[in-house]
A and B are shown apart, each in its own frame.
Chain A
Amino acid sequence: MAEEQDIVELREKLTRAAQLLLFRHHMRPGAKAWELRRALGRDYEQVAKLLDGELEKLGLTVKRVSEGEESSESDRYFVTLRGHPTLTEARTFGWRIDDMGMLTVALAHILAKEGKAPLKEVERILEEKFPRWRIESTIDRFIRRGYLSEDDEGLLYIGWRARAEIDQRTLLGLLLGKEEKPSEAEAEPKTETERKEETEEKL
């Protein structure tokens, strides 16, 4: 009987945790550790782990993101996709390819510069690939959405959302492992033999 009662209580806590993490209550999504502790009790971390197990079936996960190096009560819990979307899927989320490229450049540059870089420097690098008139507004949008943050001295940092959503190590690893493709114009024209070989391979 007592065991049944425990199960019911745990179910209720799981439901409450899911509501707290999935429904937005403040400006930012998710919930802080102390909010979960207040709503779920001292064993909130266990409840979060159980919820993570439940969400795994749906391809989601519960992520704890620290503001500093050590975990604290002000850490925030989010529910994120467990895997990553494909480029086509990302476009259906309302993202432009150019915007995603710009965010990659900004994040990678900031990470390469030990977590902070002057805004002007980032803009200058972006200008090499993207139209200048789009850069300023796009960076503003990234700041508003929390992917980047800016201080009074015009330095850009990795924002709270990027810390929660972007696997920084994977990003840099993929970037370095990415093969450079020569553009159509730059590529050397193929000989007739090469073309034949290619066709045979395909067949």
Chain B
Amino acid sequence: MRSERQELMLRIIDLCDSVRKRGLDPFDVEVREFFDRLRELLPKMRKHEEIYLDIQAVLGLADVVFQQSEWIKHKSSMLYLDPLLIMLKLHALPAKDLAEVLARAWHPIIDLESLSPHGIKEGMDYWKNLPSLDERWRGLDTTEVLTGEVARRELARMGILSDEDFTALLDKNWRELKDTAGEQGEVSYWDFISERSFEGTVVKAWLVSFLVSYGYATLELKPLEDEITLKPLSKPQNLECVATFSVPIAISRDEWLRRVKHG
């Protein structure tokens, strides 16, 4: 928790930042008053963090003083014209008149791009090493293959398409969950997701996460008993009407092995 001292110093730092970054009038900052406050606070500071903030606040105020001097210099320079008038003109004039203003104040730089001896040598080396057009256009050795059809099973084997439609898969798992829960209407989360292989268990857990997310089932957490219960719903629930929250469940291989061994 921040102390009152820290709050004050953070406010000073923030204010000084605003002067630099957002163009706040530097004369709006009560530099002297803030320095007096910091001087009062300094003997009471004990923590490194507070002293660091104090340094930052002093640097910020010093920067504000610098901004004030810049502001005076700018106002006293020949370039100073009322910013409000300039803004009004910028709003009022059409693009063509604005362009004309620029053209009449513009003295473009004249320069010519030239090739140096080094550049000429580089160009010559490139030309010498450039393969002939015949070589560059030589096609890759490929065989043309006619388009054909790929069976759904083949795509599944390649991992491009799931063997079963995802919705159908979810539906299948939902029915399985309802059957397992039976009349009790609930089943242990770990009992339901446990499969013979670790990979199968992870896939099942992944599918259960969708069942819960889409409102096909609910999770009940019993932290004291270290138990998670799955409750299938007879009809998918509209999640917009209920308060939802995320439950991260880690499934490690060790955890899976331990649970499989203990039945």
Q: Which residues of A contact B (CB under 8 A)?
A: 22-24, 29-30, 60-61, 63, 78-87, 89-90, 93, 97-98, 100-101, 103-105, 107-109, 111-118, 125, 128-130, 153, 155, 161, 164-176, 178, 180-181, 183
Contact = CB atoms under 8 A, between A and B. Distances in A.
B114 to A, nearest CB: 4
Nearest to B113: A24
A29 B101 CA distance: 25
A80 B109 CA distance: 4
Interface stretch (B48-56, B87-95, B127-135, B235-243): B87-95
B109 A83 contact: no
Contacts of A24: 111-114
A176 B79 contact: no
A114 B96 CA distance: 26
B140 interface: no
Given A117-B23, A169-B78, A84 B107 contact: yes
B165 to A, nearest CB: 42
A93 B93 CA distance: 23
B160 interface: no
B168 interface: no
Given A79-B111, A109-B87, A183 B101 contact: no
B93 A180 contact: yes
Interface string B229-259: 0000000000000000000000000000000
**Which DSSP category, helix, strand, loop or mixed, fits chain B's interface?**
helix
Nearest to A85: B103
A165 B99 contact: no
B106 A166 contact: yes
Nearest to A126: B90
A118 B23 contact: yes
Contacts of B102: 90, 100-101, 103-104, 107, 166, 171
Interface string B70-90: 110010001101010111011
Given A112-B86, A118-B23, A167 B111 contact: no
B98 A105 contact: yes
Nearest to B114: A23
Q: Which of B83, B103, B114 has the most CB of A within 10 A?
A: B103
Nearest to B107: A80
5 contacts: A104-B99, A108-B90, A111-B79, A166-B107, A171-B102
Contacts of A181: 94, 97
A170 B104 contact: yes
B110 interface: yes
Contact of A171 (B21, B97, B101): B101
B127 to A, nearest CB: 23
Contact of A104 (B85, B101, B114): B101
Contacts of A109: 86-87, 90
A85 B110 CA distance: 13
